[in-house]
Amino acid sequence: MLKFLSLRDFVIVSELELEFSAGFTALTGETGAGKSILIDALSLALGERSDATMVRNGCERAEITAEFDVRALPDAQRWLKAQALEGDEGICLLRRLLDAGGRSRGFINGRSATLQQMREAGELLLNIHGQHAHQSLLRPEAQRALLDGYAGLQERAAEVALRHRDWQTLQHRRIALSENSQAMAAERELLLFQRNELEGMAFNVAEWEELQVDYARLSHAASLLETAALGIETLSEADSACLTQLNALMARLRDGMEHDASLAETLRLLESAQAELQEAVYALRHYQQRLDADPQQIKEKENRIQYVIEMARKYRVMPERLDEVLQQIVTRLAELGDETDIAAVAQQEKAARECYLDSAQLLSHARQLAAANLSREITAAMQKLAMQGGSFAVALLPLPEGNAYGLETIEFQVAANTGIPARSMARVASGGELSRISLAIQVATSQLASVPTLIFDEVDSGIGGRVAEIVGLLLKQLGRDYQVLCVTHLPQVAAMADGQWRVSKAVEDGVTLSRIEVLGDEQRIEEIARMLGGVKITETTRKHAAEMLGMAA
């Protein structure tokens, strides 16, 4: 729950620190004293948009800090951990800085946070019901969200939306396939031809590189054969061949060794050279034979190279990229599918639609049960709020084909008096009736709030007398289970509160400032008397105020 709020240089507040407690607290004061400043400050701490006018005149910046106890809020604790925004155990500290230039910064537990993160945190910490909250309740989407929230159907509604999206995706695909079937058939036929043509090449980059090397060798076969023959002749077959002369020299050295043994080292070197030269002769003869076996292949390799180049030119790529072209064609064919795909997609679409309808029908059934319960609760609350004979109904208007939100639209309908047919709440003419109906809805749905703190900002405007007392009683009942803060101008509502704060304005050094003070018992009597009696407060008014407080207690 909300534990502490600090304001610095915000609107007409110089400095303010408030500690909050459980139960129902009323915030009262003269008209224009700034009772709603507290709500505005909390809204900013929870990520609402700001502007430079919120900084007190003459100051550089405004600062708002709100501290919440989250020990009993596991959802909030999980969210903080997931966002890496944990602070001290059981504490969530929201801080907002606004400067006079209009810029703002947000912090959660001392770490910089976006406005979206602050709004998400706020949704887990408190609900603010503004005095114009009924305006949002006139929108169909708000009515649907309220019913689903009341019944705890958010996850089921999200599942329906997901299944509707899957169904629509398949439906659009089937329609596209049908509308483009001729063009797609022509494209498929061309791609099939191209795939068969490229696959028939049996082309790969490694083969292409090897082919070019072989062709370069074979295309110079005559010159290479001549080179090999010259080498063989020079080394072993000519009259003065190297090996012949070398062998003769080696024979002379062997004879010389009979007279000088030191020639043995020279002979050994020449024998090694003779062996190397002989190996060279063998290698040249083998090379010559291999070239002799390949002359017929040169034409085949030349034709292969020419074919690859022509195919590369046809597909407007370098030869090395023909493999990529084939893969692109295969991928596109997979996207197009075959002629049976339209029927297959139609079957998938039918199955997805049935899946959606099954889920949506379950949602509709749960909504019907929740709508009946909510209608009864709000109708009962209306009787207490001076609308005897009136009734409230949550109508589920069927949508034959359904949409992402289910098989029906939600419409809040009201009959202000007995015998009058119910009609859309958006068409209720009386602003006072609309305000009271809105309050009944807020009270009924707030009882299921997942957050511990509920703030009401003058939602009791337009009512008075006995109805105001009932409103106060309803808020007091809520205060037993929730922390409730209500900005009010009605003494009947304020008297029901467990605690009361008074907002006042004063001029200090020529500057208007707003203050908030916690009222004791005697001060509460004076404030309630002021709210009852206006300018002149009599003893009778004070006795009436004391009596109201006593009855409320």
Look up residue 538 and give its two tokens. 């009599």
Find all residues with CB under 8 Å of 378, minimum gap 6, and list them: 392, 437, 440, 441, 444
Structure tokens at 112: 């910089």
Alpha-carbon span 51 to 48, nearest angstrom: 10
* 463: Cβ contacts below 8 Å, ≥ 6 apart: 385, 386, 432, 435, 436, 471, 490
Phi-psi region of 505 (alpha: psi -120 to 50; beta: other; left: phi over 0): beta
Smallest CA-to-CA distance from 70 within 47, 43, 93 is with 93
Contacts of 41 (CB under 8 A, 6+ apart): 5, 7, 10, 13, 64, 66
Any residues with CB less than 8 A from the CB of 191 and at least 6 apart, and which?
329, 332, 333, 336
Please state the domain extents for the chain.
Answer: 2-125+451-519, 185-336
CA 279 to chain centre: 75
Q: Give the separation between CA 71 and CA 89, rounded to whole angstroms.
A: 8
Q: What is the pTM of this model?
A: 0.59
Q: What is the pLDDT along the chain (553 residues), one digit of tens a residue?
A: 899 999 999 888 888 888 999 999 999 887 766 777 888 888 899 988 888 888 988 899 999 999 999 998 888 999 999 999 998 888 999 999 999 888 999 999 999 999 999 999 988 888 777 655 556 677 888 889 889 988 989 999 999 999 999 999 999 988 887 777 677 778 888 898 999 998 888 888 888 888 777 766 666 555 666 787 788 888 887 878 888 888 888 888 888 888 888 888 888 998 888 889 889 888 888 877 776 545 566 777 778 888 888 988 998 988 888 889 999 999 888 877 665 577 888 899 999 999 999 999 999 999 999 999 999 999 988 887 777 888 899 999 999 889 999 999 999 998 877 878 888 887 764 556 676 777 777 777 766 666 788 888 766 666 777 778 888 888 888 888 889 998 888 899 999 999 999 988 887 777 778 788 889 989 999 999 988 876 678 888 889 989 988 887 7
- Residues 515, 503: contact at Cβ < 8 Å? yes
CA distance 121 to 85: 10
Structure tokens at 185: 């058939």
Pick the CATH number of 2-125+451-519 from 3.30.930.10, 3.40.50.300, 3.40.50.720, 2.60.120.10: 3.40.50.300
Residue type, 423: R
Q: What does the alpha-carbon distance between residue 99 and residue 102 come to, in Å, rounded to a whole number?
A: 6
Number of helices and strands (H, E) in the chain?
A: 19, 15
